[in-house]
Amino acid sequence: MDSTTIFPHFLKFSISSFCSALIILLALWMAPALWAQIDAPSMRPFSRLGVDVNVGTLGVGVEVATPLATRFNLRGSGNFFHYTTNINRGGLVYVTALDMRSAQASLDWFPWRNAFHLSPGVMFYNGIQMTANVQAPPNTSFTINGATFYSDPSDPLTGYGKVTFPTVGPQLTIGLGNMIPRSNHKHFSFPVEAGVVYFGPGNILLNFSGSECLAPGGAFCQKASSSPNFQADVAAAKSQIRTYVNYFGLYPILRMGLSYKF
């Protein structure tokens, strides 16, 4: 495997495998919730407050909700997750970090006055990003886009990579459970939700500094920033990474939580 493919594979492992496990948990949780009904007396706007703690594909989340009418809630969400790891691949050492920070606002509509709701909304802050500091130990070989180079013993190669997405995007989810149960005697609920948020194409940064050589021992060395062959391989590697990153332009939202109505 080419060393630069660690970017998309780390991204896919950190997010997509977590999605698969969460889908199973959601399916188990949704079965009893499907039959839960909501008592629907009239409720004044902003008369109650619900707070929820959840876990999902956006990380660990905290939500607050308040009623707007009998069939409508206004909901705000904040999410965070951080994961770091060091990976050795293709002669390069990657110090990688996945940061997931986001904030959302949704309108929950309960069309049949039961547990089901449809929620259009917007992610008004998307801080999801992946970063990697890259090092090539002096006088060692490494590969970029299938081509082999050597790190200059006196000016070792270093690099920095970053994947980000647009800050704002629309979203649409469906779910079961109401953070503001309409029954006066019910305070706890267990909301589950699934949907998508549209990020659009991701932005990819991949830069290298130091010097690369064509042979070990510091032979035929050139600054990485001014080497045409090296830069051509870096550009090709970025194109490969972009193919994977674009899969996440339409990002799945899956989460489950525990909420309490005040």
pLDDT reading at 150 higher than 90 = yes
pLDDT in tens, 115-128: 899 999 999 999 99
Mean pLDDT of 191-205: 94
What is the rounded CA–CA span in Å between residue 255 and residue 195?
9
Q: Please report, rounded to a whole number, the percentage of residues in the chain having pLDDT higher than 90.
A: 71
Mean pLDDT of 55-65: 97
- Domains identified in the chain, total number: 1
- Under the banding of pLDDT at 50, 70 and 90, the label for residue 37 is very low
CB-CB neighbours of 59 under 10 Å = 21
Q: Please report, rounded to a whole number, the percentage of residues in the chain having pLDDT higher than 70.
A: 84
pLDDT reading at 250 higher than 80 = yes
Q: What is the CATH number of the domain that holds 153?
A: 2.40.160.170
Burial of 251 (0-12, 13-18, 19+ CB in 10 A): buried
Segments forming the whole domain that contains residue 75: 3-261
CB-CB neighbours of 146 under 10 Å = 12
Write down the pTM of the prediction. 0.78
- Under the banding of pLDDT at 50, 70 and 90, the label for residue 247 is confident
pLDDT in tens, 206-223: 999 999 999 999 899 999
CA distances from 230 to 106, 144, 237 (A): 47, 8, 11
In degrees, to the nearest 5, what angle opens at C-alpha 97 toward C-alphas 232 and 229? 10
CB 140 within 8 A of CB 157: no
> Which residues are CB-neighbours of 223 under 8 A, at least 6 positions away?
155, 210, 211
What is the rounded CA–CA span in Å between residue 247 and residue 23?
18
Three-class SS of residue 9? helix
Q: What is the DSSP secondary structure assignment for residue 259, as one 8-state letter?
A: E
Sign of the Cα pseudo-torsion (161, 242, 120, 255, in order): negative
* Average pLDDT over all residues of the chain: 87
> Shortest CA distance to 194 belongs to which of 255, 247, 248, 251?
255
